Amino acid sequence: MDALLALWDGAFGSAFAFWSATLVRTTPLVLVGLAVALAFRAGVLNIGAEGQLIAGAIAATALAQWLDVMPTIITVPAMAFGGMLAGAAWAGIAAWLRRRFGVLEVISTLMLNFIALALLSWVVRGPLQEPTGIYPQSATIVANAQWPFLLEGQRLHLGFAFGLMLAAASWYWLARTASGFRVRVVGAGPRAAASAGGVDVARTTFGVFLVSGACAGLAGASEVGGVTWALYDGISPGYGYTAIAVALLARLDPRGVVVSAFFFGALEAGAAAMQRDAGVPAVIVQVFVALVILGVLAGTHLRDRARAWRLVTRREAA
């Protein structure tokens, strides 16, 4: 009971907990959650959001160092765009492998995650290491490159606004535009999309792959610019993997991604507090999260079964 209270307090107990812990953890989950959801909607099983996030974080750090004399109005957009480009490029490797050689993206993106981790490990000990050369991390980025906070005295930063805007844009894209509709039909029925709709399936999946990588790359840039202000080995505590759960819980709907990212953000913020205040290991929360995901997946399956059953019985009655 104490543990649950600590969990609740850590996530919602105070203005600080809400604005500076929960929503700050929600931010990267919204962005990577969108990355996974968009890819999955097109039938692209991109499980490499982690690697694309790291690519974005590296690029954003490099840009922040390089543009250190520039004003915020230049640096921050440059970091955001640079992060997106790097994420898209990292995803582009897997997208190209799939298009050119038919390499399964489940394998290539997963492998690219490990390569990205190794790359990160190298840059923080090499080209981007802090000037003293002692610690395996980059120098803290200059104040001009730090992303503005959204609220006085709270740690919630610009990245959250990007997340919400991107979620709204993704929803509009899928629901209303022709190219977003192509993404949906390619995911739901690639043969019909090609045969009945004349959709270029390979081109569509390639494009979505890049967009997905860009979203994850932006998450990396937003972490460096808004939270850590530096690059180091453990920059992502597995956001790219949690994102898969976020996207599945949201049933791949961009609006739902915001909600489920918030749910996971609150759990993570609360888990940290629970460990600190009640001495309950945060792993318990991870077990709980895993149970939630299993429950959601089983629930979805049962609902589909029930619907199919109703259809059959109705048709036989008719």
Partner 1 sequence: MSGDEALVLRDVRRSFGRTVALDGASCTVRRGTIHALLGENGAGKTTLMRIAYGLLAPDAGEVRVNGAPVNLGSSRDGIALGLGMVHQHFMLVPAMTVAENVALGGRGRFERDATATRIEALGRDSGLALDPRARVADLPVGAQQRLEIVKALAHEARVLILDEPTAVLAPAEGAELLRWLRRFADSGGTVVLITHKLRDALEFGDDLTVLRRGRTVLAGSRGEMTEAQVITALVGEAGLPSALRARTGALTPSAGEPVLHLEGVDYIDARGVTRLHEVTLEVRAGEVLGVIGVEGAGQYELLRILAGRLEPTRGRATRPTRVGFIPEDRLHDALIPELTLTENLALATAGSAHGTLAWEATRRSAAEIMRRFDVRAEGTETPARALSGGNQQKFVVGRERHLAGAALVAENPTRGLDLRASAKVLDEIAGADGDPPPAVVVYSSDIDEILAVATRVVACYNGSVREIPRAADPKDRTPYARALLGAH
Contact with partner 1 (CB under 8 A): which of 185, 208, 231, 246? Answer: 185
**Contact, 26 vs 160, CB < 8 A?**
yes
CB hemisphere CA count around 179 (13 angstroms): 11
* String of contacts with partner 1 for each residue 64-103, x by CB under 8 A: ----------------------------------------
CB of 178 to partner 1, least distance (A): 4
CB of 265 to partner 1, least distance (A): 30
Which value, to the nearest 10 degrees, does the dihedral of the CA atoms of residues 46, 216, 49, 156 take? -140
Which 8-state DSSP code applies to residue 237?
S
Q: What is the largest CA-CA distance in the chain?
A: 79
> Least Å distance between CB 137 and partner 1?
46
Q: Which is nearer to partner 1, 92 or 190 (CB)?
A: 190
> In what helix (H) or strand (E) does residue 212 lie, and over which residues does it extend?
helix 201-223
CA dihedral (216, 218, 222, 228) positive or negative = positive
Residue with Cβ nearer partner 1 (163 or 180): 180
Residue placing its CB nearer to partner 1 in the complex, 192 or 291: 192
**Taking CB under 8 A as the rule, does residue 177 contact partner 1?**
yes
196 binds partner 1 (CB under 8 A): yes
How many angstroms separate the CA atoms of 36 and 48, rounded?
9
Residue of the chain from 192, 283, 287, 306 that contacts partner 1 (CB under 8 A): 192
Count of residues interacting with partner 1 (CB under 8 A) = 20
Considering the rule CB under 8 A, would residue 199 count as an interface residue with partner 1? yes
Contact 174/243 with Cβ under 8 angstroms? no
Mention every residue, 6+ apart, whose C-beta is less than 8 A from residue 227: 24, 155, 157, 159
Instruction: Name which position in 200, 277, 292, 296 contacts partner 1 (CB under 8 A).
Output: 200
Interacting residues with partner 1 (CB under 8 A): 176-178, 181-182, 184-185, 188-189, 191-193, 195-200, 311, 315
